[in-house]
Amino acid sequence: MTSQADAQPLVTLQNVTVAHSSSPVLRNVNFKIAPGEIVTIVGPNGSGKSTLLRTVVGALEVQSGDVSRSQGLRIGYVPQKLHIDPTLPLTVRRFLSLPTPVKNPEAEAALEKAGAGKLMNRQMTGLSGGQFQRVLLARALLCQPHLLILDEATQGLDQPGSAAFYRQIEQLRQTLGCAILMVSHELHVVMAASDRVICLNGHICCEGAPEHVASAPEYRALFGTGTQGALALYRHEHTHTHDHSCGHDHAFDDEATQTTDKAKQATKDLI
Amino acid sequence: MTFLDSFLIRAALAGVGVALAAAPLGCFVVWRRMAYFGDATAHASILGIALALSFETSLFAGVLVMALLMGTVVSTLSGRGYAVDTLLGVLAHSSLAFGLVAVSFLSGIRLDLMAYLFGDILAVNQQDLLIIWGGAALVIALLWWRWSALLTSTLNRDLAHAAGINPQREQLILTLALSVVVAVAIKVVGVLLIAALLIIPAASARPFASTPERMTLIAALIGVFSAVGGLQLAFEFDTPTGPTIVCLAAVLFLLSNIKRLFDQASD
């Protein structure tokens, strides 16, 4: 989409390295997202997906490199999970007004859009997993974001629940026209809904249109040839070689490899 | 003879002032699980008293500086991989111990240690009242101003960042508010019981509240009732005032939780 590529990007990461307690999680990442663009990040556990999102949000300090956001950028953020302390009484209505107060009709409209009507007066701690995620989404929509960020927003939902959730997102992009940046394990959703897919494993392995990425050797190395959803992750082979035209080193693929290998072993044991 | 000439009226006003400031702050202490943090800050203030006495500056300033220092040290270190409860346990009690040792060096000054440890609300003078109400007004204004941002960063740091709020700054504001409350509450309940005055009214308010704001209001009512009622009971039964106030608050906590048990049983 040339019009998108030409537009001023909402967020630009240049050569960014992020470390948790001195071991780098992301190294030399270049990333930008244009207005209205839908970008999905895929990658095995521990590959830095959430770290990348939180860097875009501004919640993490970068060790080196530059992060720039367009002037007056509004971000709607739906975190992976949100723990609400039981000592904090919070109705859905009150939650929607954090931090910016909204009027009743707006709050109702946002809940309706997110598929969570009629929850207005419930306590946040009393919601089911699916309801909770929808309320989080409704709150993220209320600031009329330029950029909506979803971090594995359907984690903990069953198959029909998450399918319904992503249908909602699909509709939202048509009505709101905001850019969406999401992490997802559900590869069929990713392939159907994204303009661009980024395959992450501590660095960006490959990126591009879904069809392009699906046929890229780096992606196949990470996810196998099938895109049959989450189990594909566990078929992750680590004997692969990247084609090193990308010009960065892959030194810390190993760390991610260990975690994934454990998962792989666990899956084998189950079978 | 004016209204403020009666020591009982002054004591009641002091108690009410501290209770009003402690209520909203206490709610944040409960929501953010900072109970030990309150303890550590309060215990550090005995060291502040020793320093203020030896340098002959105002007690209020000495306590404020020491409490602020402790609050900053704790919030800085807790972000750096120390186990927070261990860290607070070490800092709270060692600062109390160092404070007590430091006070013992001040041999030239007649010092009623008990008054600082357990409060001396009946000895509140007009100048103390001014400081207490000034401090309380400052804390309430500060929390009012930052309310939404504070709540958002209490809920989740990343949500705060996404909304352009810096949670570190909000943490600093809470630390500052806590130091002021500690400094003004010493005269009322003393170093050892300040945390109780923060936590018990907020915890008692929880079963009655459906929103954060309502919890704060109910906590303020419970706090004020405990202060005035405790003062009266202490006068009646000739018991130490600060501890009596805390005892009354604790009884209210018990009643509110009995109510909650009944609510749960009837569900």
Q: What is the pLDDT of residues B19-78, one digit of tens each?
A: 999 999 999 999 998 888 888 888 889 889 888 888 888 888 899 999 999 888 887 877
Domain span including residue A200: 2-74+145-270
**pLDDT tens, residue by residue, A173-199:** 778 888 999 888 777 777 777 889 898
B148, A82: Cβ pair inside 8 Å? no
Tell whether B120 is covered by a domain: yes
Question: Which residues from chain B sit within 8 angstroms of residue A92, using beta carbons?
Answer: none
Provide the percentage of residues in chain B whose pLDDT is more than 70. Answer: 95
Q: Hey, is B213 helix, strand or coil?
A: helix
The CATH number linked to A26 is 3.40.50.300
Interface of B with A (CB under 8 A): 30-33, 81, 148-149, 151-152, 154-163, 165, 203, 206, 209-212, 214-215
A82, B211: Cβ pair inside 8 Å? no
**C-alpha to C-alpha distance for A46 and A51, rounded to whole angstroms:** 9
Encode A60-71: b = buried (16+ Cβ within 10 Å), e = exposed: bebeebebebee
The CATH number linked to B23 is 1.10.3470.10
Least confident piece of the model among A50-54, B82-86, B133-137: B82-86
Question: Which residues from chain B sit within 8 angstroms of residue A58, using beta carbons?
Answer: 161-162
Tell whether B59 is covered by a domain: yes
Q: Say whether pLDDT at B140 is over 80.
A: yes
Tell whether B69 is covered by a domain: yes
Chain A interface, best mutation among B156, B208, B260, by max A CB count within 10 A: B156
Tell whether A83 is covered by a domain: no
**C-alpha to C-alpha distance for A196 and A213, rounded to whole angstroms:** 9
Tell whether A101 is covered by a domain: no
Residue B127, both tokens: 């100048």
User: What count of other Cβ atoms lies within 10 Å of the Cβ of residue B215?
Assistant: 29
H-assigned helices in chain A = 2-6, 49-57, 92-96, 104-113, 129-142, 159-176, 187-193, 210-215, 217-223, 253-270
Q: Hey, is B163 helix, strand or coil?
A: coil
At B81 the pLDDT is 66
Does A98 reach chain B within 8 Å, measured CB to CB? Answer: yes
Does A100 reach chain B within 8 Å, measured CB to CB? Answer: yes
Does A84 reach chain B within 8 Å, measured CB to CB? Answer: yes
The single-letter DSSP state of residue A8 is: P
Question: Which residues from chain B sit within 8 angstroms of residue A82, using beta carbons?
Answer: 155-156, 159
How many domains would you assign to chain A?
1
Does A242 reach chain B within 8 Å, measured CB to CB? Answer: no
A98, B81: Cβ pair inside 8 Å? no
What number of C-beta contacts closer than 8 Å exist between A and B? Answer: 70
Q: Which long-range contacts (CB under 8 A, 24 or more apart) does A128-132 make?
A: A129/A156, A129/A157, A129/A161, A130/A157, A130/A161, A130/A164, A130/A165, A132/A82
Report the candidate in B79, B76, B66 with the shortest Cα–Cα distance to residue B40: B66
**C-alpha to C-alpha distance for A237 and A240, rounded to whole angstroms:** 6
Which residues in chain A show pLDDT less than 70? 1-6, 156, 224-271
Q: Say whether pLDDT at B233 is over 90.
A: yes
With beta carbons less than 8 A apart as the criterion, state whether A4 and A178 touch.
Answer: no
Tell whether B89 is covered by a domain: yes
**C-alpha to C-alpha distance for B194 and A19, rounded to whole angstroms:** 40
Domain span including residue B60: 3-192
Tell whether A200 is covered by a domain: yes
Tell whether B171 is covered by a domain: yes
CA distances from A129 to A76, A126, A155, B241 (A): 19, 10, 9, 48
Chain A interface, best mutation among B153, B154, B211, by max A CB count within 10 A: B211
**C-alpha to C-alpha distance for A125 and B209, rounded to whole angstroms:** 14
CA distances from B212 to A21, A25, A123, B79, B143 (A): 35, 37, 12, 26, 13
How many domains would you assign to chain B?
1
What is the distance in angstroms between the Cα of B257 and the nearest Cα belonging to chain A?
A: 13
Tell whether A96 is covered by a domain: no
Comparing alpha-carbon positions, the chain A residue that sits nearest to B167 is A59
What is the distance in angstroms between the Cα of A142 and the nearest Cα belonging to chain B?
A: 11
Chain B interface, best mutation among A98, A125, A143, by max B CB count within 10 A: A98
**pLDDT tens, residue by residue, B156-196:** 999 999 998 999 899 999 999 999 999 999 888 888 889 89
**pTM of the full structure:** 0.83
* Residue recorded with tokens 């309801």: A131
At B17 the pLDDT is 95
Encode A153-175: b = buried (16+ Cβ within 10 Å), e = exposed: bbeebeeebbeebbebbeebbee
Tell whether B177 is covered by a domain: yes
At A44 the pLDDT is 84
Tell whether A257 is covered by a domain: yes
User: Residue A251's Cα: distance from chain center in Å?
Assistant: 24
